Amino acid sequence: MNKSPEITMSPRQAQTMVDGFKLEDDEIRQFTANEVIQSFHAGVQKGQSIAIELEQKAWFRQIRDNAGFAAMDTLKVIAFLKEIGISVLSAHLKIESRYSISVLITVSTSDYVKEVFTQVYNFVSALHAANTNELYSVDFQFINKSEHFDIDAVKNAGFTSSFTPLEK
C-alpha cells in the first residue's frame, strides 16, 4: 500500500486551509436554528403525545380508584339500610367527573315507602361529609325498583355500571 503523501506546510498555510472550510456566522446560525427548531418540533409532538398519554392514564387511574372508594361507601350504605330493616336490590354507578361519583340505589317499593327509610339520607350526608376530599366525592340517590324497572333508562341517565355483588 502506498503511504499517504506527507504534507508539510507552514502554520500560516495550515490556517489558510482551515479557513477555507470556514462557514459564515449566519450560515451556522441558520443551520443550528433549523436543527434546533426541527428537534423542538419533533420533541414537542412526541412530548405532547406522551403528555396526553400520561394524563389519560392518570385520569383512568383516578376514576378507577374512585370507583373503588364508591364501592366501599356503597357497602356501608347497604349495611346501614340492613340495620334499619331495608334490603338493597341493586346499585348503579355514574361518573360525574374525574373526582366525583354518583350511586343510584334501589330498594323494593314496600321498603321505599317506609317512614324509617329516610333515615338513610342523614347517613349518606354524614358519609359524604366524612369522605369527601379534593380527589373524591360520592353522592347517593335512591328509588324503588318495581316490575317496570328499566335498566336502559338508568344507563341513559349515566349510571352505566352496576354493583356486581348485588347482580344475580
Name the site residues for other proteins (rule: CB under 8 A). Answer: 104, 106, 109-110, 112-113, 117-119, 121-122, 125, 141-146, 148-150, 153-154, 157
Task: Dump the DSSP string for the chain.
Answer: -PPPPP----HHHHHHHHHHTPPPHHHHHHHHHHHHHHHHHHHHHHHHHHHHHHHHHHHHHHHHHHHHHHHHHHHHHHHHHHHTT--EEEEEEEEEETTEEEEEEEE-HHHHT-GGGGHHHHHHHHHHHHH-BTTBEEEEEEEE--TT--HHHHHHTTEEEE-GGG--
> 66 or 106, CB closer to other proteins?
106
Give me the least distance between CB of 28 and other proteins, in Å please. 59
Give me the least distance between CB of 123 and other proteins, in Å please. 11
> 71 or 92, CB closer to other proteins?
92
Give me the least distance between CB of 133 and other proteins, in Å please. 19
Give me the least distance between CB of 111 and other proteins, in Å please. 11
Residue closest to 89 by CA, chosen among 108, 109, 114 = 108
Helix axes 119-131, 25-83, angle to 10 degrees: 150
> 38 or 118, CB closer to other proteins?
118
> 56 or 125, CB closer to other proteins?
125
> 62 or 139, CB closer to other proteins?
139
